[in-house]
């Protein structure tokens, strides 16, 4: 039986995860520099020990209601094919190791914006873990 590990987090009422191999680190709120004329989903730039990281408002990206207060969110720093990106999330969960037999395609009833950014779902005892497609979620040119 094959297993994979996922870094999990919460956003609105969603329980989401990304492959732990994509995660550089998880940090609390960091001061950021706004970027004039940037896409509205880009909240700014973070200086992470000399490394410049773009902060992406995942709530806006996934078309979820409401707005996170800047000082209350957490940053999940992921490595993409271009550069590290910070996913702004509400709360960090645990690292889960899950078997491939629990994995299913995304449910048909998800809204279109969310569905195209979800790779699939893991059925857990008391919840569902939606696996985020980080390449699609961070690609703002091809919404």
pLDDT digits (tens, 9 = 90+) for 52-98: 999 999 998 988 887 656 667 899 999 998 899 999 999 999 999 99
Residue 92: predicted pLDDT: 96
The rounded percent of the chain whose pLDDT value lies above 70 is 94
Average pLDDT along the chain: 90
Residue 42: predicted pLDDT: 93
Give the predicted TM-score (pTM) of the model.
0.90
Residue 8: predicted pLDDT: 98
Radius of gyration of the chain (CA): 15
Report phi then psi at 34, rounded to 5: -65, 150
Q: Which domains does the chain have, with CATH numbers?
A: 3-138 (2.40.50.180)
Quick: pLDDT tens for 34-47: 999 998 899 999 99
Residue 142: predicted pLDDT: 67
The dihedral through the CA atoms of 72, 97, 103, 140 has a sign that is positive
């Amino acid at each position: 039986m094959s297993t994979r590990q996922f870094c999990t987090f919460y956003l609105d009422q969603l329980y989401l995860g990304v492959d732990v191999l994509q995660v550089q680190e998880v940090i609390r709120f960091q001061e950021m520099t706004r970027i004039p004329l940037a896409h509205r989903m880009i909240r700014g730039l973070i200086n992470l020990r000399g490394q410049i990281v773009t902060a992406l408002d995942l709530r806006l990206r996934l078309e979820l209601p409401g707005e996170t207060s800047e000082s209350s969110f957490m940053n999940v720093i992921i490595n993409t094919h271009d550069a590290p990106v910070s996913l702004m999330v509400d709360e960090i969960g645990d690292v889960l190791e899950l078997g491939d037999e629990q994995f299913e395609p995304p449910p048909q009833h998800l809204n279109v914006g969310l569905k195209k950014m979800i790779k699939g779902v893991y059925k857990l005892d008391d919840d569902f873990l939606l696996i985020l497609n980080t390449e699609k979620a961070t690609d703002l040119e091809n919404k």
